[in-house]
């Protein structure tokens, strides 16, 4: 019986390890659709509209894909990239609908929220999709604002990861006047208006009052701009220090809160390291370090670390994020002085112990007198933690060390009959 017992325990060990590994993987819509060349155009525009990374970050989701022919018909209307994003986001349902569930809908019909609805761009409930199980095995789909018409039908399932993501083919794009409405390009939108409406009014007003900084922001929108906007409470508390800066210092402080390239949230989570800003000018570095831990992205200067708390807009070429603190560049502010190290306690003297050599005593005194300036020293490279996060963002799988070491220990112990008590 002993060999049988060990074989069973070994099988259990393999099962537990596979389960642990499987739970660390997330879906990737781009890679899944790459296996289906008939949907290459749909896949391409999920990437161009930056919907792909948003889909990858969600679970319990259904993507209603259309083939290349249907996409070409949609593109023949020449929608802007922003309008196309709204149209495609209507095809991403925030619930799981596999082929089996589509044919077993309770009461025969369901109303599903979409990513278009979740953005807040859809008026009222126009971002919902009606799904109805029809006679003869058909399943119809229609936008909520389409007069109840079911204009598209389920064709087949492309891939299903149960209760995580389902990718199905529907016969044609869902028509929706709300999703197809022309939308202004980000470069045509008022930067300060966007910030003011979403809790960054103090920063926006301060930016508007600085013609040089405002001009720098506006000049960079078309080529790509990412703004990190401090929330009102944080910037209001900082205003007394801001008023003490010179005119050039004020402009540099404001420009320090933006980068001259477009950075989506997915890009920020994967591209850890030093980042230049609008204030960077040759020897005046004015840079900070982007780091992340899971879904939390932080911006670290030599003086303060701020967290990204929200997204106001993320549409190439413009992204605006809210942060919980004002970014303080070392070029304008001094790092707080380190606390003085406590004096070492004198060693107890003994009657028989010889006196310490003078040469060694001088060496110790010299080391004690050396200033500790680690907090203000410039960083030559991103931290190891940033490197690890960058690896994770590029597709590597990170394991929770303590958790899986414990799992492996239990498995090994069971296999070899060790007692855990």
Q: Over the stretch 401-414, which tens digit does the pLDDT of each residue have?
A: 444 445 455 445 55
The dihedral formed by the CA atoms of 411, 415, 416 and 420, expressed in degrees to the nearest 10: 40
- Map the chain to HEC letters: CHHHHHHHHHHHHHHHHHHHHHCCCCCCHHHHHHCCHHHHHHHHHHHHCCHHHHHHCCCCEEEEECCHHHHHHHHCCCCCHHHHHHHHHCCEECCCCCHHHHCCCHHHEEEEEEHHHHCCCCCCCCCEEEEEECHHHCEEEEECCCCCCCCEEEEEEEEEECCCEEEEEECCCCCCHHHHCCCCCHHHCCHHHHHHCCCCHHHHHHHHCCHHHHHHHHHHCCCCEEEEEECHHHHHHHHHHHHCCCHHHHHHHHHCCEECCCCCHHHHHHCCEEECCCCCECCECCCEEEEEECCEEEEECCCCEEEEEEEEEEECCEEEEEECCCCCCCCCCCCCCCCCCCCCCCCCCCCCCCCCCHHHHHHHHHHHHCCCCCCCCCCCCCCHHHHHHHHHHCCCCCCCHHHHHHHHHHHHHHHCCCCCC
- The rounded distance, in Å, linking the Cα atoms of 164 and 27 is 8
Question: Of the given ranges (16-25, 65-74, 372-381), which has the lowest mean pLDDT?
Answer: 372-381
Q: Is the pLDDT of residue 361 over 70?
A: no
Domains in the chain, CATH or no CATH each = 29-170 (2.30.180.10), 186-323 (2.30.180.10)
Percentage of the chain lying above the pLDDT 70 cut: 72
More confidently predicted of 8 and 131: 131
- The rounded distance, in Å, linking the Cα atoms of 171 and 153 is 5
Question: Of the given ranges (122-131, 210-219, 388-397), which has the lowest mean pLDDT?
Answer: 388-397
Instruction: Give the pair of three-digit tokens for residue 365.
Output: 């005194």
Helix 232-243 to helix 201-208 angle (10° resolution) is: 40
Q: What residues are paired with 306 via a beta bridge? A: 299
How many residues are recorded in the chain? 421
Mean pLDDT score, 172-177: 94
Mean pLDDT (the chain, rounded): 79
Greatest pairwise CA separation for the chain in angstroms:
103
- The rounded distance, in Å, linking the Cα atoms of 250 and 242 is 7
* 57, 92 Cβ separation under 8 angstroms: no
pLDDT band at 99 (very low <50, low <70, confident <90, very high): very high
Q: For residue 28, give the nearest of 208, 161, 155, 191 by alpha carbon.
A: 161
* 194, 313 Cβ separation under 8 angstroms: yes
The predicted pLDDT at position 224 comes to 86
Q: What residues are paired with 59 via a beta bridge? A: none
Q: What is the radius of gyration, based on Cα positions, of the chain?
A: 29
Residue 350 has phi, psi (to 5 degrees) of: -120, 155
The predicted pLDDT at position 7 comes to 53
Q: Is the pLDDT of residue 189 over 60?
A: yes
- Give the predicted TM-score (pTM) of the model: 0.54
- The rounded distance, in Å, linking the Cα atoms of 165 and 27 is 7
């Amino acid at each position: 019986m002993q060999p049988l017992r060990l074989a069973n325990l070994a099988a259990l060990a393999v099962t537990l390890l596979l389960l642990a590994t499987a739970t660390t993987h997330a879906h990737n819509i781009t890679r899944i659709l790459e296996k289906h060349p008939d949907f290459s155009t749909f896949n391409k525009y999920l990437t161009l509209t930056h919907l792909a990374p948003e889909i990858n970050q969600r679970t319990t989701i259904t993507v209603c894909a259309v083939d290349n022919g249907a996409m070409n018909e949609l593109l023949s209307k020449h929608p802007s990239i922003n309008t196309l994003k709204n149209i495609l986001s209507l095809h991403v349902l925030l619930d799981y609908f596999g082929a089996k569930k589509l044919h077993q809908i309770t009461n025969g019909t369901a109303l599903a929220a979409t990513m278009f609805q979740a953005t807040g761009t859809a008026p009222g409930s126009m971002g919902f999709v009606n799904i109805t199980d029809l006679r003869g095995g058909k399943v119809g789909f229609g936008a909520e604002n389409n007069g109840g018409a079911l204009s598209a039908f389920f064709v087949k399932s492309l891939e299903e990861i149960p209760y995580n993501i389902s990718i199905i083919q529907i016969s044609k794009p869902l028509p929706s006047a709300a999703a197809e409405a022309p939308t202004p390009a980000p470069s045509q939108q008022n930067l300060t208006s966007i910030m003011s409406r979403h809790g960054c009014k103090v920063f926006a007003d301060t930016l508007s009052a600085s013609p040089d900084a405002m001009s720098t922001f506006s000049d960079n929108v078309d080529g790509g701009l990412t703004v990190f906007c401090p929330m009102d409470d944080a910037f209001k508390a900082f205003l007394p220090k801001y008023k003490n800066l010179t005119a050039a210092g004020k402009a540099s402080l404001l420009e320090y809160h933006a980068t001259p390239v477009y950075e989506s949230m997915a890009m920020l989570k994967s591209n850890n390291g030093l980042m230049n800003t609008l204030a960077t000018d040759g020897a005046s570095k004015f840079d900070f370090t982007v780091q992340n831990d899971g879904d939390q992205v932080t911006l670290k200067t030599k003086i303060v670390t701020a967290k990204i708390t929200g997204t106001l807009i993320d549409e190439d070429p413009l992204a605006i994020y809210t942060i919980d603190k004002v970014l303080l560049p070392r070029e304008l502010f001094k790092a707080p002085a380190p606390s003085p190290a406590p004096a070492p306690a004198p060693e107890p003297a003994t009657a028989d112990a010889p006196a310490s050599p003078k040469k060694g005593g001088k060496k110790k005194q010299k080391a004690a007198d050396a200033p500790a300036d680690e907090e203000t020293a410039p960083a030559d490279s991103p931290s190891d933690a940033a490197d690890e996060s960058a690896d994770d963002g590029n597709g590597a799988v990170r394991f929770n060390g303590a958790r899986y070491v414990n799992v492996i220990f239990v498995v090994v112990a069971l296999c070899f009959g060790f007692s855990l008590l």
